[in-house]
Every structure is written in structure tokens, then in C-alpha cells.
Amino acid sequence: MEAYEWAYPELWWLLLLLIPMVGWYIWSYRKSQAEVYVATIDGVENKTFQPFEWLRHALLLLRMGALVLLVLALSRPQSSSSWEDSTTEGIDIVIAVDISSSMLARDFEPNRLEASKELAVDFIQGRPNDRIGLVVFSGESFTQCPLTTDHAVLRNLFFDLKNGLIEDGTAIGSGLANSVSRLKNSDAISKVVILLTDGSNNRGSIPPLTAAEIAKSFGVRVYTIGVGTNGKAPIPVKDMFGQTRYQPMEVKIDEETLRSIAKMTGGQYFRATGNQELGEVYEEIDQLEKSRIEVTQYRRKTERFHWFAMGAVLLLVIEFFLRQTVFVSLT
């Protein structure tokens, strides 16, 4: 059975109107009965009970029922309408994704960027109690989504990622620094950045190791993932006619820097050539100490007053119909 909550329960005091309604009805009914004086009781004793006359009191019951339903409708019954504050176990995580043009290389199916998005979405689905944010970078960096427990929205933002949103390049330091800024004011015991990239830092004003020092100072642990197979990969390039074609090029991931970032901050470096490496990230993060965080869950309010209002109208219509037809001679 569905539970209801009431926006204005104080309006239930209006139900006290039932008392004067019943009192007025009794007074009017008695007043309408004419006094009859008889010299004998002959004939009175043989008077039979008239159930049809007593049925007219059903009109009062219909009006009373309509009043009750109307008061309940005005009180605005609602289902799943309250905010719920809860405490849960979790950690704060920011995922930083490289969206540079080299992430369109087809050594992953369909390309590195789409594969990285799938890995990230799988990771989000496996961490239902964590606050997770999204930072993207190429030649610059920006926050796509701050820390949130609304993972449905976060997954949709991941699916919207594409190359060309910002200037091309690979600003690993800027992406990491931006991620740390999302976590620096967090009160969680465990703060984590997962950094996915396929290249070497060639843009931005913040060197990657400087960003790693900043992360370390704020107690942020960084897991770095180098996305790309070993050897050569088909990279999209523009020919002299402006057409995109794929040319095999050497994969150049600055693994030394990514390892240094992870080591400096207490994290770990992975070379992602498939989903197995992401499983290792799961295992590592699950070993972290979890912190208790306050979460406010918002539920959509569903109004239910219309059912009560419709019921009140229906009872009034029935009462009016009976008064004007069946009981017209008795009222």
C-alpha cells in the first residue's frame, strides 16, 4: 500500500466542520416534522416502518464524505515527496579524461576516447556510494561535472564527451591541477584522481610533476592510466585537401612521468590495453580507507490530491442527482 505524506496537515482542523453540519441537519430535520395530535391511537399502531424515507439521510452522508475528501485534497497528499539526509561510506573521486585528437586513434575499438569512456562508465557503475566528478583536458582543461552522487547525470556527461570541445594538445599538468582543485576542499579521508591519457605533456602552464606536488600536499592519491597499445597505432591526420585519413604512427606515452605522478602521490600507474587493467584499479581503490560522507537525496514530489478532489466532486454530483430525482418529494 502506498504511503502518503501531507504538505498541510494543519488543514485537518477543517474536519471539525462536520460537527455543526450534523447539528444543523438534525435541527432542520426535527423542525420539518409537523406535530400531529390524535384522539386515539387507532391506526398509529398499525403504521409500518418506511425504509425509503430513512434513506434520505444518505444525502447527509454523501455531503459529509465530500467534505472529508475536499479537506484531504487541500492538505496536498504526496508520495515520495521528502528530502532524505543519509550518511554513507565512500570516497571522493575525480576522473580526468584526455580528449585530444590522438585519442581518436583506432588501436582501440572504436577508438581510444570511446574505449576510455566505457572504462570510466564501468568504473562509475561499480562505485555507487562514492562522490565522483569529471574533468576533461587537451590543450586546456575544464570541469565537466563537480563531485556528485547523481551518477546517472555523470554517465550522460561522459557519453557527451568528444574531441574538439577545447583547443587541441595534451596538458596533463593542467588536467591534474584542475582535478585537485575539485578535491582540495573535500572533507573525505580518501581523495582520488584517476587520470587517463595517451600522450606526453605538450601544453599548459603547469608541469605534470608540479601538479603532482600539489596533489600530494592536499592528500590526493593519483592513479594514472596510459591509454594505447604498444608499437604503432592508426592516428587521424588531415591531408592537403583537408580530408581525414588514418596514418600508422608510433605510440608515445610518457610512462615515466605518469609513473612518477602515481608514485609521488601514493597511487599506481596502469597501461590500459583493455578492461583488465581497470579491474586492477577497482581492486586498488577498494582497499582505500572509506570515509563517512553526508548525502542529501532528492526525491521527486508526486501530487496525489486530484484523486481526493475527484472523489469529492463525484459524491456531490451523486448527492445532487438523488436530491433532484429519487428524494425530491422528501426534501
Q: Are residues 92 and 72 in the same domain?
A: no
Q: Are residues 204 and 67 in the same domain?
A: no
Say if 320 falls within a structural domain: yes
Q: Are residues 154 and 262 in the same domain?
A: yes
Task: Give the CA count within 13 Å in the CB-facing half-sphere of 80.
Answer: 6
Say if 282 falls within a structural domain: yes
Q: How far is CA 51 from the centre of its chain?
A: 59
Say if 234 falls within a structural domain: yes
Q: Are residues 108 and 175 in the same domain?
A: yes
Tally of domains within the chain: 2
Q: Are residues 77 and 101 in the same domain?
A: no
Say if 317 falls within a structural domain: yes
Q: Are residues 116 and 71 in the same domain?
A: no
Say if 329 falls within a structural domain: no
Q: How far apart are CA 95 and CA 281, in angstroms?
A: 12
Say if 122 falls within a structural domain: yes
Residue 94, pLDDT score: 96
Q: Are residues 136 and 263 in the same domain?
A: yes
Q: Are residues 45 and 134 in the same domain?
A: no
Q: Are residues 187 and 114 in the same domain?
A: yes
Say if 131 falls within a structural domain: yes
Longest dimension (CA), the chain: 125
Q: Are residues 48 and 132 in the same domain?
A: no
Q: What's the CATH number where 292 sits?
A: 3.40.50.410
What residue has cell string 572504462?
Answer: 119
Residue 294, pLDDT score: 61
Structural domain for 127, as ranges? 85-296
Q: What is the pLDDT along the chain (331 residues), one digit of tens a residue?
A: 455 678 888 888 988 888 888 888 788 777 766 554 445 555 545 445 455 556 667 778 888 888 898 998 888 887 764 555 656 567 899 999 999 988 888 888 788 898 888 878 888 888 888 899 999 999 999 999 999 999 999 999 988 898 888 888 999 999 999 999 999 998 888 899 999 998 889 998 999 999 999 999 999 999 999 988 777 777 767 666 767 677 777 778 899 999 999 999 999 998 877 667 767 777 777 777 666 656 565 556 677 788 888 988 998 888 888 878 876 655 5
Q: Are residues 131 and 62 in the same domain?
A: no
Say if 17 falls within a structural domain: yes
CA distances to 85, 148, 157, 191 from 131, rounded to whole Å, are 15, 5, 15, 10
Q: How far apart are CA 286 and CA 284, in angstroms?
A: 6
Q: Are residues 26 and 136 in the same domain?
A: no
Residues contacting 31, CB < 8 A, separation 6+: none
Residue 6, pLDDT score: 80
